Chain A
Amino acid sequence: MRPSETGRWQRVGLVIALGLALLASLAVPRVGYADDPLAEKELEVERQLGCPVCTNLPLNVCDNQLCEEMRGIIREKLAAGETPDQVVAYFVSRYGEAVLLEPPRQGFNLAVWYLPILAVVIGAAIVLIFLRQSLQRGRLSAEHLQIDDPTLDRYRRQVRRDLERFEGTR
Chain B
Amino acid sequence: MADLGSVALLLAAAVTIYGILANVLGILRRDPALLASGRHAAWSTAILMAIAAAVLVYSFVTHDFSVRYVAAHSSREMSLPLTIASFYSGQEGSLLYWATGLAIYLGIVVLQNRRVNLSLMPYVTAILLAIEAFFLLMLNFVSNPFERLPFTAPNGLGLNPLLEDPGMLLHPPVLLAGYMSWSVPFAFAMAALITGQLGSEWIRATRKYSLFAWAVLGAGNLLGMWWAYHVLGWGGYWGWDPVENAALMPWLVGTAYVHSVMIQERRGMLKVWNLALVIITFNLSIFGTFVVRSGILSSVHSFAESPLGIYFFSFLALSLVFSLGWLFYRMPELRGEHEFESALSREASFLVNNLILLGIVVATFWGSIFPLVTEALQGVKLTVGPPFFERVDGPLFLALVALMGIGPLMPWRRASPRTLRRNFGIPLMIAASATILLLAAGIRQAPADVALFVCTFVLATTLQEFVWGVRVRMRAGQNPALALVNVIRSNRRRYGGYIVHIGIVLIAIAVVGSHFYQLEKNVVLRPGASTTIGRYTLTMGHLQEGSFPGYRKVWVDLDIQQDGHPAGRLEPAKEFHVNFETEPNTKVALRSTPLDDLYIVLAGWQPDGSASFFIFVNPLVFWLWIGGAVLLAGALITLWPDREPARVPVLRPVGEGVHVEAI
- Give how many A-B residue pairs fall within 8 Å (CB-CB): 187
Q: Smallest distance from the beta carbon of A139 to chain B beta carbons, Å?
A: 8
Cβ of A55 under 8 Å from chain B: yes
For A97, what are the chain B residues with a Cβ–Cβ distance below 8 Å?
A: 380-383
Chain B 238-273 residues near chain A, CB threshold 8 A:
239-241
Partner of B351, one of A23, A48, A109, A127: A127
For B371, what are the chain A residues with a Cβ–Cβ distance below 8 Å?
A: 98
Chain A 18-57 residues near chain B, CB threshold 8 A:
19, 22-35, 39, 42-43, 47-48, 50, 54-57
Count class of interface residues, chain B: 35 or more
Chain A 123-160 residues near chain B, CB threshold 8 A:
123-124, 127, 130-131, 134-135, 137-138, 141
Q: Smallest distance from the beta carbon of A98 to chain B beta carbons, Å?
A: 4
Task: Check if A112 sits within 8 Å of B614, measured CB to CB.
Answer: no
Contact with A along B363-387 (1 / 0, CB 8 A): 1001100110010011011111111
User: Closest B-chain residue to A97, C-beta based?
Assistant: B382
Chain B 499-538 residues near chain A, CB threshold 8 A:
515-522, 532-533
For A27, what are the chain B residues with a Cβ–Cβ distance below 8 Å?
A: 391-392, 394-395
Q: Smallest distance from the beta carbon of A97 to chain B beta carbons, Å?
A: 6
Partner of B378, one of A23, A48, A108, A138: A108
Chain B 271-304 residues near chain A, CB threshold 8 A:
298-300, 302
Measured CA separation A30–B155 after assembly (Å): 49
* Contact A112-B366, Cβ < 8 Å, known A26-B398, A56-B239, A168-B422: yes
Measured CA separation A102–B371 after assembly (Å): 11
Task: Check if A135 sits within 8 Å of B392, measured CB to CB.
Answer: no
For B336, what are the chain A residues with a Cβ–Cβ distance below 8 Å?
A: 134
Cβ of A89 under 8 Å from chain B: no
Q: Smallest distance from the beta carbon of B359 to chain A beta carbons, Å?
A: 4
Partner of B299, one of A55, A116, A164: A55
Cβ of B321 under 8 Å from chain A: no
Measured CA separation A135–B418 after assembly (Å): 21
Measured CA separation A102–B390 after assembly (Å): 11
For A54, what are the chain B residues with a Cβ–Cβ distance below 8 Å?
A: 300
For A112, what are the chain B residues with a Cβ–Cβ distance below 8 Å?
A: 366-367, 370, 384, 388
Q: Which of B57-65, B338-346, B622-630 contacts its partner? A: B338-346
Task: Check if B343 sits within 8 Å of A131, measured CB to CB.
Answer: yes
* Contact A50-B362, Cβ < 8 Å, known A124-B355, A127-B352, A127-B355: no
Q: List 23 A-B contacts (CB under 8 A).
A: A23-B398, A25-B447, A33-B518, A35-B532, A39-B521, A43-B520, A50-B385, A56-B299, A60-B522, A61-B235, A62-B234, A97-B383, A101-B387, A102-B388, A103-B383, A113-B388, A115-B362, A116-B363, A119-B359, A120-B356, A124-B355, A130-B351, A167-B419
Q: A30-B515, A63-B586 are in contact. List 8 more A-B contacts (CB 8 A).
A: A22-B450, A23-B398, A26-B447, A31-B516, A55-B241, A56-B299, A98-B371, A100-B382
User: What residues make up the interface of A, taking CB atoms closer than 8 Å to B?
Assistant: 12, 19, 22-35, 39, 42-43, 47-48, 50, 54-58, 60-63, 68, 71, 96-103, 108-109, 111-113, 115-117, 119-120, 123-124, 127, 130-131, 134-135, 137-138, 141, 164, 167-168, 170
